[in-house]
Amino acid sequence: MSFSRILGQDTPVNVLRRALRTGKMAHAYLFEGIEGCGKKTTALALVEAAFCGRDEACGQCPSCRKMASLQHPDLHVVEPDGAFIKIDQIRDLQRELVLRPVEAPMKACIIDEADRLNPAAANALLKTLEEPPGNALMILLTSRMASILPTVRSRCQLLRFGPLPERVVEEELLRRGTAPDIARMAASLANGSLSRALEVGDEGDSAGRGQLLSRLGALSLGDIAPLFAAAEELSADRETAVERLDELASLLRDVFLIQGGGSEMVNRDLQPLLEQEAGRSTLETSRQRLAHILEARQALTRNANPRLTMDVLLMRLAQERDQ
């Protein structure tokens, strides 16, 4: 993976390429950004270039070919084992990092989802960061900076990865053969995450969004059992809840556009259902419902309880429906 193929992250890429050119690499980096914005891809590109001895990997030498298949003996990737990264995983990594490199000029490790280090593992890692072995390169990845120990953060060079521009995501989906309407819809719903856009672009997503729209139309305070059942399902975890709210917001925006005479819909594949929903409510009702959804999303990003947030939101949406 070369730096030239990384999408929309010019600032961190330029910082890393300059470090490679000048030989002033940090011994530890912390890449922070939302899931799917290119952190791991950039980490692999950095290791490949460092192993290749250039500021842009050649892609042809034996080292680059082994990196392409993630089979290089001097690369070590640590990922959560279940819910956490455990101390035994960090101890195994420490034993590897003190050994001489097999082929490359250095050892390198990538710790994915570093926010899921359990306390013992984080403290063990801290010792390695304080006294790095040789010239080993360590790269930590996280989408939840608040969960990283301050002492760990302070011993790494922080690079922030922003959400990918919607245009960049749409162009990449088109390059991969996604139909234009689906690419536009998926990019709009992805909130800067290419991996999220690829999930949204799956064939089954249309049915899922259609079901979500049907649920929205069926909400009523006169029958609260389905309402609370929907709230429980939609709030399985914080990440899922945020994704569902993004989808709801996108659907309500399209309903709002239809009622206002607009034509630039995102969810064009659901146009008949959207038009049906638009005929059931007023423009003002749609505006209020959209405001409730955006308020709930903001609450979730501020660490509100997902289930309680969904309960309150769906009751508000049902109240707007019943009026």
**Final residue belonging to a domain, choices 160, 190, 213:** 160
**Between the CA atoms of 4, 163, 140 and 15, what dihedral angle is there, to the nearest 10 degrees?**
50
Indicate the average pLDDT of the chain: 87
Q: Which amino acid is at 43?
A: A
pLDDT at 304: 86
CB 225 within 8 A of CB 187: no
CATH of the domain at 280: 1.20.272.10
Distance CA 233, CA 220 (A): 17
Lowest mean pLDDT among 81-90, 137-146, 309-318: 309-318
Residues 214 and 135 in one domain: no
Which of these, 88, 130, 125, 99, lies nearest to 110 by C-alpha position?
125
- Alpha-helical regions (H) of 154-302: 166-175, 180-189, 194-200, 205-218, 224-234, 238-260, 271-278, 283-301
- Name the percent of the chain lying above pLDDT 70: 96
Q: Is position 184 within any domain?
A: no
pLDDT at 323: 61
Residues 152 and 39 in one domain: yes
Which of these, 1, 3, 7, 2, lies nearest to 176 by C-alpha position?
7
Does residue 203 register a pLDDT over 60? no
Partners of 201 in the beta sheet?
none
201: confidence class by pLDDT, cuts 50, 70, 90: low
Q: Is position 121 within any domain?
A: yes
Give the pLDDT mean for 5-33: 94
Residues 155 and 9 in one domain: yes
CATH of the domain at 99: 3.40.50.300
Structural domain of 301: 203-322
14: confidence class by pLDDT, cuts 50, 70, 90: very high
Q: Is position 195 within any domain?
A: no
Residue 30: helix, strand or coil by DSSP?
Answer: strand
Residue 51: helix, strand or coil by DSSP?
Answer: helix
Distance CA 300, CA 309 (A): 7
Residues 220 and 137 in one domain: no
Distance CA 110, CA 105 (A): 16
Q: Is position 198 within any domain?
A: no
Q: Terminus-to-terminus CA distance in the chain, angstroms?
A: 56
Structure tokens at 207: 């049915």
Q: How far is CA 205 from CA 171, 182, 199, 219, in A?
A: 20, 10, 8, 21
Which of these, 76, 94, 154, 88, lies nearest to 117 by C-alpha position?
88
18: confidence class by pLDDT, cuts 50, 70, 90: very high
What is the chain's Cα-based Rg?
23
Does residue 248 register a pLDDT over 90? no
CB 3 within 8 A of CB 13: yes
Partners of 159 in the beta sheet?
31
- The pLDDT tens digits of the residues spanning 219-239 come to 777 777 878 888 888 887 888
Among 62-66, 262-266, 305-309, which range has the highest average pLDDT?
62-66
Structural domains counted in the chain: 2
Give the pLDDT mean for 272-295: 86
pLDDT at 27: 93
- The pLDDT tens digits of the residues spanning 36-58 come to 999 999 999 999 999 999 999 99
Distance CA 45, CA 67 (A): 9
Q: Is position 197 within any domain?
A: no
Distance CA 216, CA 226 (A): 11
Residue 273: helix, strand or coil by DSSP?
Answer: helix
Does residue 200 register a pLDDT over 70? no
How many CB atoms lie under 10 A from the CB of residue 236? 13
204: confidence class by pLDDT, cuts 50, 70, 90: very low
Give the pLDDT mean for 189-196: 83
More confidently predicted of 292 and 265: 292
Distance CA 204, CA 300 (A): 26
Distance CA 114, CA 85 (A): 8
Give the pLDDT mean for 53-77: 93
Give the pLDDT mean for 289-298: 87
Residues 223 and 318 in one domain: yes
Give the pLDDT mean for 134-144: 92
